[in-house]
Structure 1
Amino acid sequence: MGEDILVAFRGVQKTYDGDSLVVKDLNLDIRRGEFLTLLGPSGSGKTTSLMMLAGFEVPTHGDIMLAGKSLRATPPHRRDIGMVFQNYALFPHMTILENVMFPLKVRRVASDDARQRARDALAMVRLDALESRRPAQLSGGQQQRVALARALVFRPQLVLMDEPLGALDKQLREHMQIEIKHLHAQLGVTVVYVTHDQTEALTMSDRIAVFNDGVIQQLDSPRGLYELPRNSFVAHFIGENNVLHGTVESVTEGFVQVRLDDGQRITARAVVGAGPGSRTSVSIRPERIHLDDIGPEANQLPGLIEETIYHGDHVRVRARIAGNPDFTIKLRYRASRILPETGAAVVAAVAPEDCLALDPVG
């Protein structure tokens, strides 16, 4: 195992009923100091993978290594891992300071030292002025910051976070995303974070492992996942996405000519390596589409406007294009822009490199 690899999953499988695998042959290296997010829908295997790393679940097959050593015989409390849960899991009868001191008391750190380290941890999350309060006297965001301080106070080499911001409102959740990201940069601790929220994953992570059906579909940087998804599931799950179905007619230097099901032809980037005659689903991001001329190389897709919705900084246009009645176009708002009216005929222009020919869906 390389020096920069802190955690390694090797051939890990998990079944609860002896029949269906929740996690299927997971091989994953987690780098020391990185912020890695496990992202996927409910039941995809991401939380089970996290719980096996924490020691709350046992792999049915395979092994998990931490700093080069197997965790099979190591109980959760001896793994040197901090945990942050969605429900905070704070002790209601203890003060905030006592809650943060608790992991140090378990590790038999001297009382004065434990108190000082707990105060330092509370100062780090800007709650040192509230150390004598109890959890019930704090807001949800404050409670989550206490849980964060408690997970970091014993200076673990690894911190696991399971949907930690799921119970917070949108504005507070976005604020906490940035706060956790800054803390990670400041401390250099390795973080493994579980969420089903793709915006959260894109905002916070160094790398993202996209799970579906117990398998990692793609492991990449946020930009890599968004710009070049490897398959239709990832394209659909990360960000917004228009899908047009068709058949590959020809392949030329990394691009394919696709005959769409309504008879139109477009050029798209070849992602899955499908040959002539293969079915494909072409993925196009709404913000990459133009309603004005962008040059002779662009794909031109005529259609009809179904709806125009003003969103402040942008305008969302829903159009019927190439047989898709919900084709979405996202336009940056300009006061001088004349917005298309419902029923108007338009031509959507999109560069070939912004069209991705992926595996067929639907």
Structure 2
Amino acid sequence: MGDAEALVRFRGVQKTYDGQTLVVRDLDLDIRRGEFLTLLGPSGSGKTTSLMMLAGFEVPTQGDILLAGRSVRDTPPHKRDIGMVFQNYALFPHMTVAENVAFPLSVRGMLKSDQRDRALRALAMVRLENLGNRRPAQLSGGQQQRVALARALVFEPTLVLMDEPLGALDKQLREHMQIEIKHLHESLGLTVVYVTHDQSEALTMSDRVAVFSDGVIQQLDSPSGLYEQPRNSFVARFIGENNTLNGVVESVAEGYATVRLATGEALRARAVAIDGPGAKTSVSIRPERVHIEGEPEGPVSRLAGVVSETIYHGDHMRVRARVGGNDEFTIKMRYRAGRPIPKAGEALSVILGAEDCLALDPV
């Protein structure tokens, strides 16, 4: 990737707060101009610390961060040309909505008349142009988040950083705001770096997702790449729903492994991240790729199962069963009128396509 394409570059970045534990380890990451990149991971994984170092609120212990080809190690936050949106909105209660949005312009010394025009344009982007004279306390949570977003965009920054911006909203409003932010990103050609621990949010909004664990990016990929081709068991378990079957590799040939499960049964799986014959492995299978009638194309494995419960979800049903040594094995079935519904205690045969089973590192 050339310098022109990479707006942000992390180079060998490390961060420790106590001189012993590395919160971020040897981070090398290029962020492309105009992309929506999400930093995803559980609490303490290093994603927020990485964002705060880019914003200038934290300083790398080691390594460098380049913005548009220039190091920003010694550049204070307000001189980095970066917009920020936080979970708690951080609006000034004594200012009107328009004054809040104009605040970044006032600290940059812009004329009052120009501030007002730019603030109204930014409020129009988030469809709040008629609420400029209200105070933040008179707005709903969703409206306050829109104001925070307008304030981050008003000075036309090179880069917009968002730290769990929708975490305080209810589910329906959060989903609506996800689409709004994505549309703004596309229409304005913004470069967005977004932090969340919500994998559904990351898959919905992002061009690429960096999955963090223990201060290291485990996988950097498109949403579909993460879901369909996880590189290790952490990513497979963290992204989407996942079934895990533990076993030992018996043989490997032509990219496929034969895995012997604790129950004595064998299955075939794509060899993704294994050490070879005799090594322990965890096999990953998505619930919607499990069959109990009909067969997928290509080689298949059949495992015996016993139904624990069936849960109706409207458009689909979830069958929980004991399969291959996993007592919480989940099968996602599309609902169809007249289709027989498995009942608790019933035996069933589970059919798994080798292409849908991924042999990964042991859990």
- Mapped pair 1:358 → 2:360: yes
RMSD after superposition: 0.9
**Residue identity matched to 1:147:** A
C-alpha contact 2:12 2:28 (8 A) present in aligned 1:
yes
Cα deviations by residue, 1:198-217 (Å, 9 ceiling, x for unpaired): 00000000000000000000
1:273, distance to aligned residue in structure 2 (A): 4.3
Matches within 5 A, 1:210-225: 210-225=211-226
Runs of 4+ with deviation above 4 angstroms: none
Worse overlay, 102-111 or 141-150: 102-111
**Residue identity matched to 1:200:** E
In 1, the alpha carbon distance for the partners of 2:309 and 2:251 equals 35
3-state SS in 1 of match to 2:291: coil
Aligned counterpart for 1:318 among listed residues 317, 320, 328: 320
Cα deviations by residue, 1:150-199 (Å, 9 ceiling, x for unpaired): 00000001000000000000000000000000000000110000000000
State the identity %.
73
Unaligned runs of 5+ in 2: none
1:297, distance to aligned residue in structure 2 (A): 2.5
Cα deviations by residue, 1:241-290 (Å, 9 ceiling, x for unpaired): 11001111111111111111110000000101431111100000001011
1:245 is aligned to 246
1:336, distance to aligned residue in structure 2 (A): 2.1
| TM-score, normalised with respect to structure 2 | 0.98
In 2, the alpha carbon distance for the partners of 1:186 and 1:293 equals 44
3-state SS in 1 of match to 2:58: coil
2:349 is aligned to 347
3-state SS in 2 of match to 1:342: coil
In 2, the alpha carbon distance for the partners of 1:132 and 1:348 equals 62
In 1, the alpha carbon distance for the partners of 2:309 and 2:301 equals 22
1:134 is aligned to 135
C-alpha contact 2:3 2:68 (8 A) present in aligned 1:
no
3-state SS in 1 of match to 2:257: strand
Matches within 5 A, 1:5-84: 5-84=6-85
Unaligned runs of 5+ in 1: none
In 2, the alpha carbon distance for the partners of 1:50 and 1:337 equals 49
In 1, the alpha carbon distance for the partners of 2:156 and 2:132 equals 20
In 2, the alpha carbon distance for the partners of 1:186 and 1:11 equals 33
C-alpha contact 2:12 2:26 (8 A) present in aligned 1:
yes
C-alpha contact 2:274 2:361 (8 A) present in aligned 1:
no
Worse overlay, 286-295 or 234-243: 286-295
3-state SS in 2 of match to 1:185: helix
- Mapped pair 1:338 → 2:347: no
Matches within 5 A, 1:181-200: 181-200=182-201
**Residue identity matched to 1:8:** R
Cα deviations by residue, 1:107-157 (Å, 9 ceiling, x for unpaired): 111111111111011011000111100000000000000000000000001
